[in-house]
Amino acid sequence: MGENKYYRWFVLSLVLFFAALSTDSSAQMCGTDRVHNHMMQNEAYRNRYNQLQESIYRASIDRLDLGETRSGFNCDSEVKTIPVVVHVMHLGEPEGTGSNISDEQIYQGILGANTYFRNLDGQNILDTEIQIELAKRDPQGNPTNGILRVDASGVPNYAELGVSIDETSCPGGPLATEIKELSFWPVSDYYNIWVVHDGCQNFGGFANYPFGGWYDGTVILAEYMNFGNIVLAHELGHGLNLKHTFEGDELDCPSNTDCLSEGDNVCDTPPHRVDDCGEANFCTDQGEWSYSRNNIMSYCFYVPNLFTQGQKERMQFTLQQEIRNPLLFSEALIPVAAPLELGILSIDSPVNLVCSSTPDIQLSVKNYGTSPIQNCVFEIFTDGVSTGYYSSSSPIVPNETASITLSNCLVNPGLQLLSVSLVSVNNQLQDAYAGNNTLCKEIEFSQLENLPFCENFELADLPSYLTVVNPDGVSTWELTNTTGCSSANGTKTMVYDASPFSSNDPTSDDVLFLPFDMSNANNASLTFDVAHIKTAFCNTYIGLQVQASTDCGETFPIELYNKNDASTITSNCGGPNQCPCSQASPLPLQTVGGTYQASADNPWRPATCTDWRNETIDLNALLGNESVILRFKANKATFRANNIYIDNVCLNLSYSPLYQPAFEFTTNRLTVFPNPGSGNFNLHGTIPFGETLVYRLFSSGGQLLKAGDVESKDGRIQTVLSLSELPSGFYSLQVTSPTTTQNLKLIHQK
């Protein structure tokens, strides 16, 4: 059937659909709002829904602030494919008749939804980069076509009344949960779609907003599961957290003061009343009216054919959250019994922080195929730019999960999106399923520079080289306006805020320094000022530790400083200001005599230099380490503790007068990309301090074609080698230092 014929079919079905709805004032295209309002009476659902909306709101705010988004899970540039299973809940008819619709009709329904989401016909304004696909393996790992058929005619009143949304709207009709429980697959691996013969509230379909329960999914009437209808696309939009464009219409125009938290929570869909579908929007003249009028999530009678950029981002953000994100890592779309199939399960290391420009990257992979895997090649990207190819020859037997380490991979300074892509398996450029061949995560490679240094916190915010770890989201480290004690006589310090009195749970919050190099230092110390007063409440205490890590922050086993008031608490005392026990004596952390009974809005603050104590910590035990991370850790075991103030932090390092920064050049630190390539090839790596590298390019027959110096800046190789004038073929590149030679094969493809 040609595209024009599909389009005419689409228009005709839409007109007939809305005409049918208009004959009954109680009819509605979509039952999602009614389902949602009913489920909001459940506290667990309500809490989970509100948490999701808060997460999406924060992600949207960050998107507006930063002008970009990074998923931290899957790569932003990838199309997200959601595995679906379709349950046909028929009345016992032969397959292909009545409510027992044919496989072909389901295929067309899937294609129709993907046409809207991916803009396959060019009628939309954008591609949402989201699509659905029928599952290829069932929960037991067996092959499937993703379509299940269940005779539901035995369910009381199902044949006569159809599915009921809730207990009150259609007395006697079976609830949707009664039908769903006859057939459903795990929602973490499959998005469930139930095709039913009828609905007793005259809906075309309904869906759940993401909540992760057993029956989370979409219900659609059999007559609307076809290419020419928007119902499936509309309900999938709800399943990905889209609301109706007229959300908030209660006989008046929806409020839209904050477009991210009111109305449909999307800023490029102008608010409107449900029945305002004419040439003008009576609610506002702001925005592009067609973005709501012709939107798939509206009820307008005009041809609805579009999602907007704001809706795309909201759906993409939803796929990053814990409820829907597992669908992107499901094994449901991996073919069963394929000869060659390797999938990347996770990037295990680095976690987030990178302490070297050439870190090792550790992956977990699985051999889903039937053939042993002898070798595989991966390409590494940072922020979309290739930094080289890395191979592994570790054998992986079928159905085995293995750990692969890619050594000395190149990353860039700063925050970046690390992407790992499978390039070849057993010397084959393709395996059976490409959907699990690429994985991304956000990493940061930064180091403290300009050492030694001192920080007096006279800033608008905490300096960028400090990272706060705040697991409970309550008490934390921050800047505050408080008089310090230094020659500069500043007005700001860093504080651990212990003032929230609503929680009696133990808390521990950290502030971490960026890594710094102590491999060539000959003397090192850390100094800082601290201020703290004992609380007037008995058996209430707080502690401060300084700890060090030499494994890029994975562990902090080295304790350099520990002053914890808990060591002096021996027994229960009386009430406030009644401390006959050992807490009446000075505590290890306190710098001021006496006690102070703080309140949430009136914390103790140091007022003069006498309230502060200077601390010095010897760091010489850490000398020789290439990467050291220090952290302050505040430990509050009970509520009503007083704040800890820190100021004038100095990291003091001295070096031998003969020391100069040095770089290694080893045979596995030089990479060339792209390879295979066409025209220009980029050389990346490090270069020895004070030395010059030279390169020589040879033909496959050994003829010298080119030679020259390897260009570098600050010890990093930055050379572009052009082969554009040479014919396609294999070439040998030789890079030589005074002590080392590396040979690489280049594949030039014009």
Q: Based on the domain organization, do 534 and 590 belong to the same domain?
A: yes
Residue 630 tokens read as 């220090």
Tell me the average pLDDT of the chain. Answer: 83
Q: Based on the domain organization, do 628 and 521 belong to the same domain?
A: yes
Dihedrals phi, psi of 593, to nearest 5 degrees? -70, 160
Q: Based on the domain organization, do 300 and 154 belong to the same domain?
A: yes
3-state secondary structure of 106: helix
Q: Based on the domain organization, do 104 and 129 belong to the same domain?
A: yes
In a domain, 615, yes or no: yes
Q: In CATH, what number is assigned to the domain containing residue 527? A: 2.60.120.200
Instruction: Note the pTM of the prediction, 2 decimals.
Output: 0.71
- Residue 342's nearest CA partner among 419, 406, 399, 392 is 399
3-state secondary structure of 227: coil
Give the largest CA-CA distance in the chain.
Answer: 92
Which is higher by pLDDT, 45 or 201?
A: 45
654, 522 Cβ separation under 8 angstroms: yes
264, 245 Cβ separation under 8 angstroms: yes
Domain's final residue, options 445, 474, 509: 445
Q: What is the pLDDT of residue 106?
A: 98
Q: Based on the domain organization, do 536 and 605 belong to the same domain?
A: yes
What does the pLDDT look like over 267-282, one tens digit per residue?
999 999 998 888 999 9
Span 420-439, average pLDDT = 92
Span 42-47, average pLDDT = 93
What does the pLDDT look like over 371-391, one tens digit per residue?
999 999 999 998 888 888 999
Residue 272 tokens read as 């409107």
Span 181-203, average pLDDT = 94
In a domain, 664, yes or no: no
- Residue 191's nearest CA partner among 145, 236, 140 is 236
Span 713-736, average pLDDT = 77
Residue 627 tokens read as 């990467």
pLDDT-derived band at 302, boundaries 50, 70, 90: low
Number of domains comprising the chain? 4
What is the CB neighbour count within 10 angstroms for residue 413?
12
List Cα–Cα distances, 3 to 115, 116, 130, 306, in angstroms: 11, 14, 22, 17
Range with lowest mean pLDDT among 162-176, 394-408, 570-584, 599-613: 570-584
pLDDT at 581 over 50: no
pLDDT at 538 over 70: no
Q: Based on the domain organization, do 73 and 155 belong to the same domain?
A: yes
Q: Based on the domain organization, do 482 and 392 belong to the same domain?
A: no
Domain that holds residue 380: 334-445
What does the pLDDT look like over 99-122, one tens digit per residue?
999 999 999 999 999 999 999 999
Which is higher by pLDDT, 148 or 73?
A: 148
Q: Based on the domain organization, do 371 and 507 belong to the same domain?
A: no
